[in-house]
Amino acid sequence: MEHTYPLNMATTLDRHSFPFTAIVGQESMKLALILNAIEPAVGGVLIRGEKGTGKSTAVRALAKLLPEHTVVEGCHFGCDPDDREALCADCRLRYAEHGKLPSHSRKMRVVELPINASEDRVVGTIDIEAALRSGAKRFEPGVLAEANRNILYVDEVNLLDDHIVDVLLDAAAMGVNVIEREGVSFLHPSRFILIGTMNPEEGELRPQLLDRFGLCVDVEGIRDPDERVLIAERDAAFKRGDHEFMNEFAGADHNLSRALAEAIAAVDDVKVTKAQTRLISSICVEADVLGHRRSGGLQAQRIGSFRAPAIGQPGPGRVCGRRELQRLGFG
């Protein structure tokens, strides 16, 4: 049975977006998004909060700040031509035949998962008849193919089927998407920045799934009257296309974008000392955090290690402090 979907499997949010640095307050949310963008291996970020707290706005604004990356020309998965180990099967074949891969640069995109997405639409499908008839593996790409090397944004993640959430988290953890149908299997790279948002008033996420997100941040509506006025003023200026407003934050967004690019380039060189590792583990134990992913400090160590390049401080100099780790869901 053949399943055919449009090439644009999910909604790509590339419209003009609100400046990231113009978002008032919500510092924990912004910090979590930045850290997850620097090192997606953290395992994604879940943002919980009531409607109207800037969750979707922040996600779309973040994408505009991230650096361009090089992709193989004509590759549906957007493979990195310089990462031979992560090439899809088609790119491997093209490289073996020609010794090089044509490429171009493009901005990172936000791929949004539809709330009613089926498993086939998420993971993709294999044409079983073609596989049995000729041995050829014809694959119809899904959302996880579109998301490779992009941002996968899952709004109202708590309303998704638990199995779909498991599939997303598995792909995020392994960096590949594996499809198996009637004894025929296919896999492709699926490395993405996972961001989920939810409104707890509409239902909670099962604890087993909640624990698999690397970071979890709770956001609330701002109570300070002056900040609420500032939010309204900036929102109005943005909606009417006020040039002064856009120019005011263009420089700040540019500086943050440059800092992010430098942090992404430097993160692999950051080292965590033994003393810092022990400090992180102690904070998690004191907070009674369950599970070794968190209480053992595995996630916190990753976060602490690249907190330094995120603020422009290289080397092992600074890790997340106690308060920052608590803000990011560690106790």
Rounded CA-CA distance 154/111 in Å is 9
pLDDT over 70 (residue 310): no
Per residue in 266-287, pLDDT (tens digit) is 777 777 778 877 877 777 777 6
Per residue in 322-331, pLDDT (tens digit) is 455 445 444 4
Of 111, 83, 231, nearest to 168 (Cα)? 111
Strands 125-126 and 69-72: unpaired
Rounded CA-CA distance 245/266 in Å is 32
Query: What is the average pLDDT score of the chain?
Result: 76
Pairwise pLDDT comparison (84 vs 308), residue with the higher score: 84
Of 100, 108, 67, nearest to 82 (Cα)? 100
3 state SS of 221: coil
Rounded CA-CA distance 301/328 in Å is 13
Tokens of 17: 């977006």
Q: What is the pLDDT of residue 264?
A: 84
Pairwise pLDDT comparison (201 vs 209), residue with the higher score: 201
pLDDT over 60 (residue 12): no
Q: Give yes or no for a contact between 33 and 62, defined as CB atoms under 8 angstroms apart.
A: yes
Rounded CA-CA distance 99/265 in Å is 27
Per the DSSP assignment, residues forming a β-bridge with 178 are 187
Q: What is the pLDDT of residue 298?
A: 45
Rounded CA-CA distance 173/299 in Å is 12
Per residue in 140-160, pLDDT (tens digit) is 778 888 888 898 998 888 888
